[in-house]
Amino acid sequence: MNISQVNNRKQMKPLKLSLSEMPHLTLEPSMMCNLNCRCCYNTDRRYSKSLRDVQQEVDFALSKPNLESISIVGGEPTLYPYLVELVSYIKSKNLICQFLTNGLLLASERGDALLDKLQQAGIDRIILHVDHGQGRSEKEMNDLCNTLFAKLEKRKIYFSLSVTIYQENKTILAQWLTKYASYKFFDGVLTTQARNSNGLDDAVHPSPDLSELYDHVQSELAVEPASYIPSSIDDNEVCWLMFFYYINTNTHQTFSISPLFNRFFRTIYRWFLGHHVFAITMNPKYFACSFLITSLVEIFLKPWRIFSLIQLLKNSNWLHALRFQYILMQSGPQYNQVHKQFSLCYHCPDATVRNGKITPVCLANHINPLGSKSQIEQENQKLYTLVYEHMQEL
């Protein structure tokens, strides 16, 4: 997708953080999983790390400037026997901690005890991967979501959805975002384009372009993006498209955070806290204050937006019906025919640690397999070299 396809493109600037910094890291403590999702890039489900090994990866990431948050992925994190201890360790470093799970274990009776322990450990957000690529019917997905959401809402743990986008579910986003906005601690959706198991977009599992998803949420939710991350070779090529907005759960009226305010907020956050914003949650205690400040700044920047705010506030039950949500749209790596290079997300926001090196998580099993350097050299040397040309500055 090219940024020229976005309506508010004149306000947009590519989000390009210094390559010496690392605002976010993904950890892979275990590759074991209890599902076989379509298009999964996890090719080695036997590998698992010791707790000390993963803690050392956290320490390695902390050696990079401005680390703000860590996401625990996999495999399936709930199968890792030291998940609670890992969350506690990450929180002891004053970092935001979230993990991505298919939710099967958490939905079971055993999941209640694990959730209680994770809550005590300080988990900030749980991202639930529930979508059409897991062999479930629409009813099964809804039932699983309702079970998990009720458990997390009860414990006041923030949660969001991770959705792999295929042709058959490309219009599901607006429906889910409005439907689940009734939950106070549901705060958004992370989308990933369907891709082949080698991590590259191709015709094996065709998925809609980011421009199609943008058109969908723009028309159905009336929201515009606040920022974007470009590709590694072209500032106008969109790899991450980021929306932040308020929604009225009674009327489904929305109010987008503008690119100008987004840059202002990122600057203030960086100035006061010393690192970049990536995965913060909206504390309910400060919702009203945050909304008031945001509204005043948005009106100052663009006075005519007061009319949109008035529409948002109608039937909002004194702000109680308002929610703050995000949509993060990711596009997978592709081979750019023009530049004859692989196009990755600039400064890969989802990098992980593999064999002591920062590696894009979506390609890690192919360019830097766990504990298998010889396999890299023998089977994937060309891809390994091309991708690391864009990662070497890290």
Q: State pLDDT tens for residues 375-384.
A: 434 444 444 4
pLDDT at 117: 97
pLDDT at 393: 41
pLDDT at 150: 96
The answer as to whether 124 is a domain residue is yes
Q: Is 357 or 25 the better-scoring residue by pLDDT?
A: 25
The answer as to whether 133 is a domain residue is yes
The answer as to whether 135 is a domain residue is yes
Q: 271 vs 161, 205, 266, 276, CA distance in Å?
A: 30, 43, 8, 9
The answer as to whether 296 is a domain residue is yes
Class of residue 113 by CB neighbours under 10 A (exposed 0-12, middle 13-18, buried 19+): exposed
The CATH number given to whatever domain includes residue 200 is 3.80.30.10
pLDDT one-digit tens code per residue, 233-249: 889 999 999 999 999 99
Number of domains making up the chain: 1
CA quadruple 190, 195, 201, 204: dihedral, nearest 10: -150
* pTM of the model as a whole: 0.89
pLDDT tier, 22 (very low <50, low <70, confident <90, very high otherwise): confident
The answer as to whether 392 is a domain residue is no
Class of residue 307 by CB neighbours under 10 A (exposed 0-12, middle 13-18, buried 19+): exposed
Structural domain including 129 reads 3-334
Mean pLDDT of the chain: 86
**Average pLDDT for residues 286-296, to the nearest whole number?**
95
Q: Is 346 or 88 the better-scoring residue by pLDDT?
A: 88
pLDDT at 187: 94
Q: Has residue 91 got a pLDDT over 90?
A: yes
pLDDT at 180: 94
Residue % of the chain over a pLDDT of 70: 88
Which range has the worst mean pLDDT, 53-62, 108-117, 149-158, 351-360?
Answer: 351-360
The answer as to whether 248 is a domain residue is yes
Q: Is 337 left (phi over 0), alpha (psi -120 to 50) or beta?
A: alpha
Q: Has residue 132 got a pLDDT over 90?
A: no
Residue given tokens 């593999």 in the structure block: 354
The answer as to whether 104 is a domain residue is yes
Q: What share of the chain is helix, strand, coil (3-state, %, to 5)?
A: 40, 20, 40
Distance CA(209)–CA(227), nearest Å, equals 18
The answer as to whether 288 is a domain residue is yes
Q: Has residue 70 got a pLDDT over 80?
A: yes
Q: Has residue 198 got a pLDDT over 70?
A: no
pLDDT tier, 387 (very low <50, low <70, confident <90, very high otherwise): very low
pLDDT tier, 185 (very low <50, low <70, confident <90, very high otherwise): very high
pLDDT at 394: 36
